[in-house]
Amino acid sequence: MKPHNYSSDAPIYDAALDRFNRFPFSQRVANVIAKRNDPSSIVIGIYGAWGDGKTSVLNFIEGELQAEEHVVCLKFNPWRFGDEDQMLINFFNDLATAIDRSIETGKERIGNLIEKYGKPLASVLGKEEVVDGVKSFFSGADIEELRERIENLLEEEKKRVVILLDDIDRLEKNEIHAVFRLVKLTADFRYTAYVLAFDKHVVSSALQERYGDNAIGTGNSFLEKIIQVPLELPSIESEDLRNFCFNEIDQVLNFSNIELTEEDVRQFVSNFSKGLEAHLNTPRQAKLYSNILLFSLPILKDEANVVDLMLIEGIRVLLPEVYALIRDNRDLFLKDGTSGYGYDYDQKEKVRRKERVESALNKFTKEEMEQIIDLLCFLFPKLNNAFRNVHYGGNSELKWGEKQRICSPQYFQRYFTYAITTKDVSDLAINELLKFSEHNSPEDIVSKINGILSEKNAETFISKLRRLSKNFTLLQSKNLAISIAKIGSNLPNPVQLFRSMNTLGQGAIFTGDCIENLNSKDEQFELAKDVIFNADTLFFATECFSWFRRDTEEHPNPQGFSDEEYSNLAGILAKRISFELSNIDNIEIGKIENFPYVLSIWNEYGEPKEATNTITRIIRRDKDFVFELLNSYTPTAFGEFGSRKSSFRRDNYDAIQKVLDPTVIVEAINEVYNDLVIDERYPEFLDVPRNEELSRQFLWIHNKFADEEANKEEMDSSME
């Protein structure tokens, strides 16, 4: 194989290139034909599957016979002709040319005989004339006289004609019929021999349709009447075929500049030999396999696990039905069937998965099925749950992702698309970013990230960084934490039940991962402070702060912050909140996610009463602001039809009261709705505007709370 070309499965002519012991077989066939004294015709059939080397055998036979002076070889290719008539005409023309070249000057020429008997064909212009000409050419008297003249000439010249026909099994069915009519018509010429190479199953099936009566075996019976010497192509030694295949793979690896470790080689050879080798039957399959690898390995170099890629491509070539099963049933192979619905449900699911795989393999023998299942369990370890009752946890999944294995959900699709999808991020790009972050400023790193990041791939991007973060150097941890803080607003932040599960939340958690990587408390504190100050939005600064690790009695973490350190960081965050919010006329709550949490940090760790006074001032200046405030304190409910804001509840009231005197809100509501009647029951699901609904709910809770406080005071007084 040339180092820059795909490996060709073209047949060979040189015996020195024979890797499968085809030449000795071909030599014996040629020798029998050349030494044959019987003048009668003979038809030899060489049977073999596609890609088994039939054409190479014909080439070797032709090469050997060309050394015999008395043998005239004609390799006739029926593929060249558009219809049966043209094929018949050209066969006799080619036959005449081959014989005429071999006879002495002055002898009667076969070409002249063809001209004489086939004269109506010489000036054929239309299809109808071709048909008429062929009928005339092959009339009984003409063909008999032509046969006799040819046989006499061959006998006089002591010549034997050998006609080689290849690739018959690749023809259309009607063309296969035409070839065998030709052979049947001319095969009884004396001093002639036919050598036909084809897949017996394919040809007999085609003949049965034409000449059979739907009875089983009629196609084979027809062949037996024509083929006098049927020869099966000698089987290739499995060791020779395996070595040939591995040699092809080795050349592809060299071309792709991929070097396997000893463990990689062991894993590949073990699983290939066990699960795939039994299905490698022809050199053409090995060539096809190496050509596919020559395409996929360079494309996915450093983007997929090499051993997994070579094995899944082997399945693609040798077990196409299994390949389709894997490609089209991702969850079947990537999930272990654990549902959370209970033991009985999971057991049924395990049986279902097992039966689903086994039903797809029912055409194989029991031994073959077991070997294929072993291979699948290597590629997809969670399949072991169905077949061997073995379970794998989260740590295993992380390792599979680190190894870029096909069983990792992040990598599965790459093995079938040969591309990095818009939702994915190239591992090469990630590795380049990590190297870049060692020697460049956060500003430059942000530019690098923006060249990689998109709305579609942001989730994968952050996920990969988090997965790799434990191996970051100190510089990478510092620079990447600050860089991600600077682009927080670029990370998608869809409304969902668990905010930490969205990409923005994962980005905030990542900054905490990086801080935890640092060795000293001082370095950790400084990096945390830098994240708070460099976060591109106040909300993202607060979000990052909420994910800083803590070291508490309840949850000990030596790498986390103590209560004192955490309070100091909260004070730093409160200063940023104060700087951005204390001196403005209005706060756009809609642009500050989780505003109640921001307000609570400011109130608890900022200057005394600063948060309270600021919010009170804004409410008295802009009465509509109070409704934005109340709405921000109500949680988001998730249901069948999406998300919506819930009702205002007592816990929301209690949270507001820690920051603000509720009477300030009551006054604002009364100025907007001065005639609201307090409901006897808690007002919910009202057919009124949202602001009015919030107002009614707040006032109801406030009045009830006030009554409770009054009753409590009265009770305390009576007890005194």
At 580 the pLDDT is: 93
* Averaged pLDDT of the chain: 85
Single out the residue of 700, 499, 341 nearest to residue 692, CA to CA.
700
CA 304/CA 603 separation, integer angstroms: 50
Cβ pair 520, 465 in contact under 8 A = no
For residues 489 and 500, the answer to whether their CB atoms sit within 8 Å is no
CB atoms within 10 A of CB 97: 14
CA gap 369, 321 in Å, rounded = 13
| Per-state percent for the chain, helix, strand, coil, to nearest 5 | 65, 5, 30
Domain residue spans of the chain: 21-232, 238-417, 430-622
**Kind of pairing between the strands at 642-645 and 636-639:** antiparallel
pLDDT tens string 180-199: 888 887 777 888 899 999 98
How far apart CA 342 and CA 348 sit, in angstroms, is: 10
Of 92-96, 297-301, 307-311, 368-372, which range is least confident?
A: 92-96
Average pLDDT over residues 659-666: 94
Burial class (CB in 10 A: 0-12, 13-18, 19+), 683: buried
Q: Report how far residue 137's alpha carbon sits from residue 132's, in angstroms, rounded to the nearest whole number.
A: 9
Measured between alpha carbons, how far is 305 from 284 in angstroms, rounded to an integer?
Answer: 26
Q: Is 594 exposed, middle or buried (0-12, 13-18, 19+ CB in 10 A)?
A: middle
The Cα 66–Cα 160 span in angstroms is 12
CA of residue 196 relative to chain centroid, distance: 42
Asked if pLDDT for residue 496 goes beyond 60, the answer is no
Q: What is the DSSP letter of 67?
A: T
| Number of helices followed by number of strands (H, E) in the chain | 34, 7
Euclidean distance between CA atoms 269 and 636, whole angstroms: 55
Go through the chain and tell me how many residues it has.
Answer: 720
Query: Which H or E run includes 94?
Result: helix 84-102
Lookup: tokens for 583? 């001196």
Residue 176 DSSP SS3: helix
Please state whether beta strands 229-232 and 42-47 pair in parallel, antiparallel, or not at all (unpaired).
parallel
First and final C-alpha spacing in the chain: 103
Mean per-residue pLDDT, 702-720: 65
CA 678 to chain centre: 62
Task: Tell me what pLDDT residue 376 has.
Answer: 96
Angstrom distance (rounded) from CA 642 to CA 644? 7
pLDDT for 406: 97
- For the record, the structure tokens of 535 come out as 């976060």
Long-range contacts: 623-626, Cβ < 8 Å, 24+? 623/668, 623/671, 623/672, 624/672, 625/586, 625/587, 625/589, 626/665, 626/668, 626/669
Q: Does residue 508 sit in helix, strand or coil?
A: helix
Q: What is the pLDDT of residues 309-345, one digit of tens each?
A: 999 999 999 999 999 999 999 999 998 877 666 677 7
HEC letters along 330-344: HHHHHCCCCCCCCHH
Query: Percentage of the chain with pLDDT > 70?
Result: 86
Q: What is the pLDDT of residues 259-295, one digit of tens each?
A: 999 999 999 999 999 999 999 988 889 989 999 999 9
Pick the residue with more confidence: 404 or 593? 404
**What span, in angstroms and rounded, lies between the C-alpha atoms of 445 and 475?**
12
21-232 CATH fold: Rossmann fold (3.40.50)
How far apart (Å, rounded) are the C-alpha atoms in residues 417 and 310? 15
DSSP result, 630-646: HHHHSPEEEETTEEEE-
pLDDT band at 215 (very low <50, low <70, confident <90, very high): low
The rounded distance, in Å, linking the Cα atoms of 89 and 94 is 9
Residue 129 has a pLDDT of 41
Pair 172, 125: CB distance under 8 Å? no
Find the range with the poorest average confidence among 3-17, 108-122, 415-429. 108-122
CB-CB neighbours of 672 under 10 Å:
14
pTM, two decimals, is 0.70
Beta carbons within 8 Å of 111's beta carbon, 6+ residues apart? 93, 96, 97, 100
